[in-house]
Amino acid sequence: MNDFVDFLGFFNQQLHIKNYPRLETFLMPAGFSSLVGEFMNITIPRYCHSLVKNRFHNGHPDLIPRGVFPDDAVQYSHEGIEIKGSRRASGWQGHNPEAVWLMVFRFDSNTANETIKQILPRPFRFKAIYAAQLEQDDWNFSGRSETSRRTITASVNRSGVEKMRANWVYQDSGK
């Protein structure tokens, strides 16, 4: 978490020098959440040497046990941890309802919409980290209509959220 805060601070300082807005205020919210998750995917293995970022393009899950799969790459496995970054307290999404270890890094930051509404800047901060092994019935499948262009998604339902919150890794004290 500290590595991401340092990264974001460095990046935003460089943007400020060039009179650009802060990174979290010009990326689309989903893009910034993805950045948080991808940063964790490359950083966690620095501290947990038994895990490695899955080297299969769009492989699932994001982090897998080091040395278990050839070239540390697998298209799909139940072994490992899927990582998400989110501003939301619930409603976390994936592409399929499935049994998986899920780790969510919940954060607070400004968004582009807040800049338009002239809401004052506030520092990025992590609010919580939740991790739990979810089962297929901990998800609601959203699907889509034949005319929709929306990506097919599944959302963590109430039972999944309860599992995640009961197994919190970090919670901000609010100070």
Q: Which residues contact 30 (CB under 8 A, 6 or more apart)?
A: none
Instruction: Describe the strand order of the beta sheet including 154-156 as a list of residue ranges.
Output: 93-94, 154-156, 139-141
Q: Between helices 29-47 and 2-17, what is the axis angle to 10°?
A: 130
> Where along the chain do its domains lie?
23-67+74-171
Q: Which residues contact 86 (CB under 8 A, 6 or more apart)?
A: 33, 92, 104, 105, 106, 107
For domain 23-67+74-171, the question of CATH label 1.20.58 is answered with: no
141-165 confidence digits (pLDDT tens): 887 777 777 777 889 999 999 999 9
For the chain, what is the mean pLDDT? Answer: 93
Predicted local confidence at residue 143, as pLDDT: 72
Predicted local confidence at residue 171, as pLDDT: 96
Q: Element (H or E) spanning 128, and its range? A: strand 125-134
Locate all alpha helices (DSSP H) within the chain, ordered by sequence. 2-17, 23-26, 29-47, 112-116, 158-166
pTM of the model as a whole: 0.92
CB burial readout 121-154, b (16+ within 10 A) else e: eeebebebbbbbebeeebbbeeeeeeeeeeeebb
Predicted local confidence at residue 145, as pLDDT: 74
Q: Is 8 exposed, middle or buried (0-12, 13-18, 19+ CB in 10 A)?
A: buried
